Amino acid sequence: DIQMTQSPSSLSASVGDRVTITCRASQNINSHLNWYQQRPGKAPKVLINVASSLQSGVPSRFSGSGSGTEFTLTISSLQPEDSATYYCQQTFSTLNFGQGTRLEIK
């Protein structure tokens, strides 16, 4: 099984800050990596697929990078509505998720 590990597990940042979340795979998954945003009480929403491809309608302040075993999700200028939990997901083999990163706005 491929294990996905996100860091940090939680963080707090201010509006306008640049925020980076990291996801590490236990083995090479090429670019088979998605990022999701889940607001409280809501279903997850896909932000990025194939490591860096921004989904239609997702604000351009979100970006993804990486390949192989290390990936990052970056929010260039944090907005109040970005308060949520973010999950990475590998789709190289089974479709499992990282444990999540809770992002709080100060």
Partner 1 sequence: QVQLQESGPGLVKPSETLSLTCTVSGGPISDFYWSWIRQPPGKGLEWIGHIYYNGSTNYNPSLKSRVSMSVDTSKKQFSLKLNSVTAADTAVYYCARINFTRYCYGGTCYIGARWFDPWGHGTLVTVSS
Interface residues with partner 1 (CB under 8 A)?
Answer: 1, 32, 34, 36, 38, 43-46, 49-50, 53, 55, 87, 89, 91, 94-100
Shortest CB 15 distance to partner 1, Å:
26
Task: Please say which residue, 17 or 52, places its beta carbon nearer to partner 1.
Answer: 52
SS (H, E, C) the chain: CCCEEEECCEEEECCCCCEEEEEEECCCCCCCEEEEEECCCCCCEEEEECCCEECCCCCCCEEEEEECCEEEEEECCCCHHHCEEEEEEECCCCCCECCCEEEEEC
Task: Please say which residue, 17 or 67, places its beta carbon nearer to partner 1.
Answer: 67
Task: Please say which residue, 20 or 38, places its beta carbon nearer to partner 1.
Answer: 38
Shortest CB 14 distance to partner 1, Å:
26
